[in-house]
Amino acid sequence: MITRALVTGASRGIGAAIAKRLAAAGHPVIVNFRSDEAGAAAVVAAIEAAGGEAVAARFDVADAAATQAALDALLADPRPIGVLVNNAGLARDAAFPAMSRQAWDDVLRTSLDGFFHVTRPLVMPMVQRRWGRIISISSLSALRGVRGQVNYSAAKAGLIGATRSLAQELARRKITVNAVAPGLIDTEMATGVPDVVKAQIPAARLGRAEEVAALVAFLASDDAAYITGQVIGIDGGLQ
């Protein structure tokens, strides 16, 4: 089904690639961003240049009031938002004994609170239409753990638990809820990854954001109607 798609944190990296791929599949795309206005505008321009439809929407998913206000405005459009990609996230890495409370709160508020703030207002409209796709971007860090990322791993693991539980609540309404767990992807977040870590990837390369986007686009399609409650890794075999 072709509906509007909301992609959070879509001004660059994996989020930008997802927004472009969903637009190529025919979805009018809402490109969410928190601060990178130029990046979001570039994504919108690229989608429009390719013949798609997109609009930028500035709000911080960690801010409940701002998110609700933005979603209220977006839902005023009679065209439904049937695809939601919870991609917004951030890293504040540090060894756990040196990790500040702020670093802990920032990461969990963006990933977990952000999931709640964005997903909850969109669920009932999906239930009423009896169709929807909710896809959250988790991480290999949630599955295997990474030194210096206790906060990030905890936040991304929380998304997996939320995904599996929400999938059970919504399956009878023809709404699927899945998570994608990327490994090392060639984006800004992978900058500075030591060569010794890259050498552990069986596929012998970093993944591409476009490859993650292709998986998300499949999960958003009608072909994936019987896939729900799943966590799908895309990591070149690095498990």
Query: Which residues participate in catalysis according to the annotation?
Result: 152
d(CA 12, CA 8): 11
- The alpha-carbon radius of gyration of the chain (Å, integer) is 17
Q: How far apart are CA 131 and CA 1, in angstroms?
A: 8
Structure token digits, residue 32: 């969410």
First-to-last CA distance in the chain? 33
| Bridge partner residues of 95 (DSSP) | none
CA angle, corner 125, sides to 29 and 54, nearest 5? 10
Distance CA 163, CA 161 (A): 5
Dist CA 158 CA 150 (whole Å): 12
C-alpha span between 89 and 8 (Å, rounded): 9
